[in-house]
Amino acid sequence: MNNQSSAPVKPAALLLKFLGSMNLAITLLVALSIAAIIGTVLQQNQPYTDYIIKFGPFWFEVFQALALYDVYSSSWFLLILFFLVISTSTCIYRNSPTMLREMREYKQNIQLKTLQNYTNSDSWQLSCSMAEAQDVVQKLLPHNGYSARLKEQPGHTLVSGMKGGGSRLGYIFTHLSIVLICLGGLIDGNAILKAREMLGQIVPETRNLPANEVPSISHLSASNPSFRGSVSVPEGSRTDVTFINYRDGYLVQNLPFSIEVKDFRIEHYRSGQPKSFESDLVVHDERLAEPLKQTISVNHPLIYDGYAIYQASFSDGGSEVNFLAWPLSDGGEQASTVSTKVGEGLKMSSFEQPWVLETSNFRLFNINPSEDPAKKFKNIGPSVQFKMRNKLGEAKEYLNYMLPVEREGAYYYLSGMRSSPADEFKYLYIPVDEAGGIERFMRYLNALSDASLIRQIVAKQGLTSSPLPLQESAQLNDAMVLLAALFVEKGMQGVVAQVEENVPLEKRDEVAKLYVRVLQQLLAAVYVEVLAEEGVDVSLGIDEKRAVFFDAAAAAIGAIGRYGSPVYLQLTNFKHHQASGLQIARAPGKNLVYPGCGLLVLGVFLMFYAPERRIWAWLEPTEQGVKLVLAGHASKNKMDFAKQYQQLRDQFDRVLTS
């Protein structure tokens, strides 16, 4: 007995088998599907601060490490696409020759026993000649859509019919479509940028710099084959760059032409919500005889030289804003005028320390839910967003509304403040007086900072008989001045904290209540004095409306210590300039994706709606005439094929036995 050792399998053959295996392809497709779900559910390419606010610092770091904020351009997603291309290409390489060969193969070497064992098989004993039976078969098969081939062999003749041979092409087309779509995804999915970053040819910029100040290593040339970037262009301005969000920074993509925004228009619903917006663009290119002009809107881009320019958004384009700067901390009553532009910084040095006003955004409309059941929304007017930065570089962000808003029957000017973009705005409500302004509030605030006025009020109102633990009236006067100043600087919490710091524990509650009661008397007395100076008759007290104003003013003054700005900036006037948000894309990969999608549709159609079906007619001469064996086989949709076979069988029966 001879033992022959099997030939060793070459590593190349094993690798080819692995790459072309169904298990690998399915695994890659499942991974691709999971990635697509993540990319759909999690909004992509948003500012990192938005993700920090939404997920918190810990999960932000986890998701960032997994590159979930830009799934379709992540290294692992592109790696999946790459291996899917390799796997699918291997399948095509291994199986296509066999399938193409089987498409032309009529299986004329099949045995009679095999035909008789098929489920769809019938036989007849005919009294006609071989020529007559053969003629009937060769006519009925083409009549039913089958192409037929005849093969004469010793003792019998076999007619083989086939239709739907193109279903084999469905397999090839489907796999080829996957290759084309994945290649298009690799081309348009920042694979080139990833490679250039690994080679150290590009480094994303993380600082907020103008395009002309960004280092050249963060610039991409106009020859870059694929990108998708965004840029905001004010009306009347032009740009020849766009910005690509990349990792935790951005890259500047240079364009071979410049885009000018001639005009930007926006339509609003009656509520003030945006309805539609469009831009009149002019493309300036040395290669053009004259500039290209076109209006774009949402879903109606400008296509030029392989670049698609979309209307994506709108923003402020450097609006001019005017403020009244009301002092909050130095006791000044008169407001000064401040003028600046959105996007610019303005030094304000008329305070104890230098400050910089950084205006970041202006909004013409602010849509809030309406308290009126007949209206869903209401427009509360323009607002401006800015930062006040101190000499140490620390900044707080503010959101001030131009028009007063109603709250429980009274009107207030709103000013939101937050220390970080991750925080919600906390609002300061400044009450509006009968004249519709904040002059009374500012006079009241100034009066609380006037030491001589406080002393006069203390003497005139008889507050010297207050049961504070003080011995002399001079001490009481000084205490009242300090108490008012402490309230203006730190609010009621500052007063309580002062008591807790200087009063023994056993007397804190009693002294705290006493200070609060005296402070309330002082605040009311100063308010009455302010009303009297305005010419209001306070001999019989104050009415309910002015009492509501007093409560609101005292609450607002008590919150000024946490406001963090030396001034309240009241928006008084503006000149609105808008900017068009453009998204500019160059995606040559779509030239592969679109044909790939077409091949995918065609391939699926061929596989499911044009399945391969075969019919054989075995003709064998006998003493009585001719023996005919008819058999059919289909690899898919066997129930449907059984019905078609039965119809063909009935046709044979009618023709041959009539």
Q: Per-residue pLDDT tens for 427-442?
A: 999 999 999 999 999 9
CA 360 – CA 241 distance, rounded (Å)? 22
Q: In terms of pLDDT, which residue wins out, 308 or 6? A: 308
Q: How confident is the model at residue 462, as a pLDDT?
A: 56
- Regarding whether 136 and 29 lie in a shared domain, the answer is no
Range 458-481 average pLDDT: 58
Nearest to 476 by CA among 462, 494, 492: 462
Q: Once rounded to an integer, what is the mean pLDDT over residues 266-288?
A: 86
Domain carrying residue 87:
11-101+171-188
Mean pLDDT score, 612-620: 93
Checking if the pLDDT of 373 tops 50, the result is: yes
Instruction: Name which of 241, 242, 251 is nearest 70 in CA terms.
Output: 251
pLDDT for residue 162: 92
pLDDT band at 331 (very low <50, low <70, confident <90, very high): low
Domain identity same for 407 and 549: no
Residue 69 confidence (pLDDT): 87
| Amino acid (1-letter code) at residue 473 | S
pLDDT bucket at 610, cuts 50 / 70 / 90 = confident
Classify residue 601: in a domain, yes or no: no
- Assign 597 a pLDDT band (cuts: 50, 70, 90): very high
> Over pLDDT 70: what percentage of the chain?
94
Report whether pLDDT(481) > 80: no
pLDDT (0 to 100) of residue 475: 56
Cβ(310)–Cβ(582) below 8 Å: yes
pLDDT for 463 beyond 80: no
Place of tokens 């469009």: 278
Three-state secondary-structure class, residue 33? helix
Q: Are strands 405-407 and 426-431 parallel, antiparallel or unpaired?
A: unpaired
What is the pLDDT, as a whole number, of residue 471? 45
pLDDT attached to residue 367: 81
pLDDT at 99: 87
Instruction: Give a yes or no: residue 6 inside a domain.
Output: no
- Flag the least confident range among 120-134, 396-410, 451-465, 622-636: 451-465
Q: Is 460 within a domain?
A: yes
pLDDT (average), residues 53-58: 86
The closest alpha carbon to 346, from 335, 362, 357, 332, belongs to: 357
Between helix 191-198 and helix 167-188 the angle, nearest 10°, is: 50
pTM of the model: 0.69
Same domain, 82 and 128: no
Q: How far apart are CA 589 and CA 592, in angstroms?
A: 5
Q: Distance between CA 281 and CA 294 in Å, rounded?
A: 5
Q: What number is the average pLDDT over the span 258-275?
A: 84
Do 485 and 531 fall within a single domain? yes
**Beta strand spans in 598-644 (E):** 613-621, 626-634
Average of per-residue pLDDT across 553-559: 92
Whether the per-residue pLDDT at 53 is higher than 90: the answer is no
CA atoms within 13 A of residue 50's CA, in its CB half-sphere: 8
- The answer on 503 and 356 residing in a single domain is no
| Whether 378 and 342 share a structural domain | yes
23 located within any domain: yes
Distance CA 313, CA 43 (A): 16
State the pLDDT at residue 464.
46
Q: Is residue 596 part of a domain?
A: no
94 compared with 351, residue with greater pLDDT: 94
Do residues 251 and 341 share a domain?
Answer: no
- Tell me the pLDDT tens digit for each residue of 113-166: 999 999 999 999 988 889 988 999 999 999 999 999 999 989 899 999 999 888
> What's the confidence (pLDDT) of residue 392?
87
- Residue labelled with tokens 């009549």: 143
| Per-residue confidence (pLDDT) for residue 472, from 0 to 100 | 46
Q: 464 in a domain, yes or no? A: yes
Task: Return the HEC string of 169-191.
Answer: HHHHHHHHHHHHHHHHHHHHCCH
Instruction: Select the more confidently predicted residue: 476 or 598.
Output: 598
Model confidence band, residue 1 (pLDDT cutoffs 50, 70, 90): very low
Average pLDDT over residues 161-180: 90
Output the average pLDDT for the chain: 87
Tell me the C-alpha distance between 23 and 320, whole Å: 63
| Residue 332 counted as domain residue | no
48: exposed, middle or buried (Cβ count in 10 Å: 0-12, 13-18, 19+): middle
- How far apart CA 514 and CA 444 sit, in angstroms, is 23
The widest CA-to-CA distance across the chain, in whole angstroms, is: 146
Predicted local distance difference test score (pLDDT) of residue 301: 95
Q: Do residue 347 and residue 420 come from a single domain?
A: yes
Which residue, of 431, 451, 469, is where some domain finishes?
A: 431
Same domain, 133 and 265: no
Q: Does any domain span residue 597?
A: no
Which uninterrupted H or E stretch holds 388?
Answer: strand 383-389
Instruction: Output the domain CATH number for residue 652.
Output: 3.30.310.80
The per-residue pLDDT for 581 is 94
Q: Return the structure tokens found at 457.
A: 């009020």
DSSP 272: S
Same domain, 471 and 538: yes
Residue pair 92/176 in contact (Cβ under 8 Å)? The answer is yes
d(CA 486, CA 497) in angstroms, rounded, equals: 10
The number of C-alpha atoms within 13 Å of 75 and in the hemisphere containing its C-beta is: 9
Please indicate, yes or no, whether residues 474 and 561 belong to a single structural domain of this protein.
yes
The mean pLDDT value for 60-86 works out to 88
Q: Say if CB 499 and CB 473 are below 8 A apart.
A: no
Q: What is the pLDDT of residue 520?
A: 86
Could you give the number of structural domains in the chain? Answer: 5
Residue 7, pLDDT above cutoff 80 = no
pLDDT digits (tens, 9 = 90+) for 296-317: 999 999 999 999 999 999 999 9
* Highest-scoring range by mean pLDDT, 17-31, 232-246, 348-362: 232-246
Q: For the chain, what percent of residues have pLDDT higher than 90?
A: 47
Residue 19 confidence (pLDDT): 83
Question: Same domain, yes or no, for 124 and 75?
Answer: no
Q: Is the pLDDT of residue 322 over 50?
A: yes
Segment among 36-45, 587-596, 597-606, 622-631 with least mean pLDDT:
36-45
Task: Give the C-alpha separation, 77 to 189, whole Å.
Answer: 9
DSSP 462: T
Q: How confident is the model at residue 253 (pLDDT cuts 50, 70, 90)?
A: very high
